Amino acid sequence: MSGFAIGILGIVFLFVSILLGVNVMVALGAVGILGLTAVVGLNAATAMLSTVFFETVHGFHFSVIPLFLLMGLFAMRAGLGEDLFEASIKWLGRLRGGLAISTTMGAAAFGAASGSSVGTATVFTKLALPQMLDRGYDKRLASASIAIAGTLAVMIPPSAVMVIYGILTDSSIGALLIAGVIPGLVFAVVLCAATYIWVWRRPELAPRFDESYSLKEKFYSLRLAGPLIIVIICIIAGLYLGVFTPTEAGAAGAAVTLILAIIRQRGIKGVRLLETLLETIKTTAMIFGIIICALIFSRFLALSGTAIALGDFMTSLHVNKWVVVGIVALIYLVFGMMMDAPALLAITLPITHPVMIQLGFDPIWFGVFVVLLVELSAITPPVGINCFVVQAASNGRIELEDVFMGLIPYVLAGLFMLVLLCLLPQMALFLPSTMR
């Protein structure tokens, strides 16, 4: 059997095992190592297995993952979601559809810090949904404006998902984090515009919010949210200017949010430090289990020549490379219905990344594109993790269909953003190219 045939068989086995409920980590690792045995023999495969764990977990730059996770959990303990929501209402509430816009922006800022789209959706459903519904907002608009915000969260640094892409594809983590900044901000504007236009065409969906705040009140609302926004800006600037590495940025962010949490909880006890640390190591272990096994699988695809053969096949088709991009996008949207970001990236990148590079795409650009795609798939009907989270946290005040119906304008805005990213790749590449 040729290497290519073994490779294709391996891909089939991988997807069958995952669908049969095998842990994503085990499926990647077991299929990968059996495939390697078939291609290079038992001894070489075992030798590879002996080094891959240590080489992956013994790295300074990869310690950024637990530190980013820690920063997010501390931000949650510090109640920064409430502060950000309060601040964004005071600053943006009077716009057309202002509460929905405030929610999206507040959740995006919170999500940027926490890096978790599911966590952000839960927190903001509890915070913003009752406020919007009580003021007569339409259920669809209210719930969807929360569910969409997670997509922004993973674009704007610090973002653990970007780091996972960087580790899996051996790309520069710092460059990837910086590459997300402009697309993240542009996407925020696109989403707010989508809300604005939607409410402008159907004003009955969102009654005007009449309370006005003095400038003093506006600035007072920034007392705790402000430090967080400053931290995020410092992290971005520090990475861009090369003042510190992503790991140091993560540690500094975690330290500042820990201090904010101690201030908010009036002491270290309320922060539940041990519980937070245990939660961090479990998520870290989950992510690295998948990453290590994905590296085994990806080495199998490389050594069997499958990755290159697939790329050759795609180029030999002589279809426009944007057709390939369309196919890739479709694959992510379909598989994104079944699993969340780390698992999805781990099983697909060994296949899609080499193909895209062979077609001449920039790995940093593809990183931003894929991360946006993965998050969009987390809200796309009929199965979107974030939609379930919003519905589950709403105490029965909304139906799943409300979220899905409400998301249609936002999904369209997301697709528009993907097209924009294809037309203007410089949006992602400009900042990294001028980095020091």
Q: Which of residues 326-385 bind another protein (CB under 8 A)?
A: 338-343, 378, 383, 385
Residue 265 in contact with another protein, rule: CB under 8 A: no
CA nearest 110: which of 179, 156, 178? 156
* Nearest to another protein of 22, 400 (CB atom): 22
Number of residues that bind another protein (CB under 8 A): 72
Residues in region 66-95 near another protein by CB under 8 A: 66-67, 69-70
Nearest distance from C-beta of residue 268 to another protein, angstroms: 12
The pair of structure tokens assigned to 84 is 């950000």
Burial of 318 (0-12, 13-18, 19+ CB in 10 A): exposed
Q: Which strand (E) or helix (H) includes residue 206?
A: none
144 vs 160, beta carbon nearer another protein: 160
φ/ψ (deg, to 5) at 384: -135, 125
Question: Quick check: 436 binds another protein (CB under 8 A)?
Answer: no
Q: C-alpha distances in angstroms, 339 versus 16, 23, 287, 292, 348? A: 14, 11, 13, 18, 12
CA torsion, points 385, 56, 44, 30, in degrees to nearest 10? -20
- Considering only 14, 76, 107, 118, the residue that binds another protein (CB under 8 A) is 118
233-262 positions binding another protein, by CB under 8 A: 244, 247-248, 250-252, 254-255
Instruction: Name which position in 282, 317, 426, 433 contacts another protein (CB under 8 A).
Output: 282
Determine if 287 is a binding residue for another protein (CB under 8 A). Answer: yes
Binders of another protein among residues 168 to 197 (CB under 8 A) are none
Alpha-carbon distance of 377 to 380, in angstroms, equals 5
Contact by Cβ (8 Å): 399, 391 = yes
Q: Is 13 in the site for another protein (CB under 8 A)?
A: no
- Binding to another protein by residue 290, rule CB under 8 A? yes
Residue of 144, 126, 137, 125 whose CA lies nearest to 99: 137
Is 29 a binding residue for another protein by CB under 8 A? The answer is yes
Q: Which of 12, 268, 278, 330 binds another protein (CB under 8 A)?
A: 278
Residue pair 218/90 in contact (Cβ under 8 Å)? The answer is yes
Residues 136-165 that bind another protein (CB under 8 A): 154, 160-161, 164
